[in-house]
């Protein structure tokens, strides 16, 4: 579901950070830490995206966290 959400939300550009972003996002949801935009931003802050796709990454996480 997270990979599909990343594709739907164009949450990757070059793909360099995508595997780590997806793994962190899946863990974030599994740990119950995706309850708000602020929480997602804080717990994903250690993942660097050179392309600046952060808004799309957060949208994909929100989508999956909401059951999408």
Residue 65 DSSP class = H
pTM value is 0.93
CATH assignment at residue 25: 1.10.150.120
- d(Cα 20, Cα 22) in Å, to the nearest integer? 5
pLDDT band at 46 (very low <50, low <70, confident <90, very high): very high
pLDDT band at 68 (very low <50, low <70, confident <90, very high): confident
Which residues constitute the domain of residue 27? Answer: 2-65
- d(Cα 58, Cα 68) in Å, to the nearest integer? 13
Instruction: Note the pLDDT of residue 3.
Output: 97
Q: How many CA atoms within 13 Å lie on the side-chain side of 30?
A: 8
Number of domains in the chain: 1
Q: With contact defined as beta carbons under 8 Å apart, do 65 and 27 qualify?
A: no
């Amino acid at each position: 579901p997270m990979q599909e959400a990343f594709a739907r939300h164009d949450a990757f550009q070059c793909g360099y950070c995508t595997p780590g972003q997806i793994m962190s996002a899946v863990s974030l949801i599994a740990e119950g830490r995706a309850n708000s935009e602020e929480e997602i931003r804080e717990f994903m802050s250690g993942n660097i995206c050179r392309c600046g796709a952060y808004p799309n990454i957060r949208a994909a996480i929100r989508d999956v966290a909401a059951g999408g």
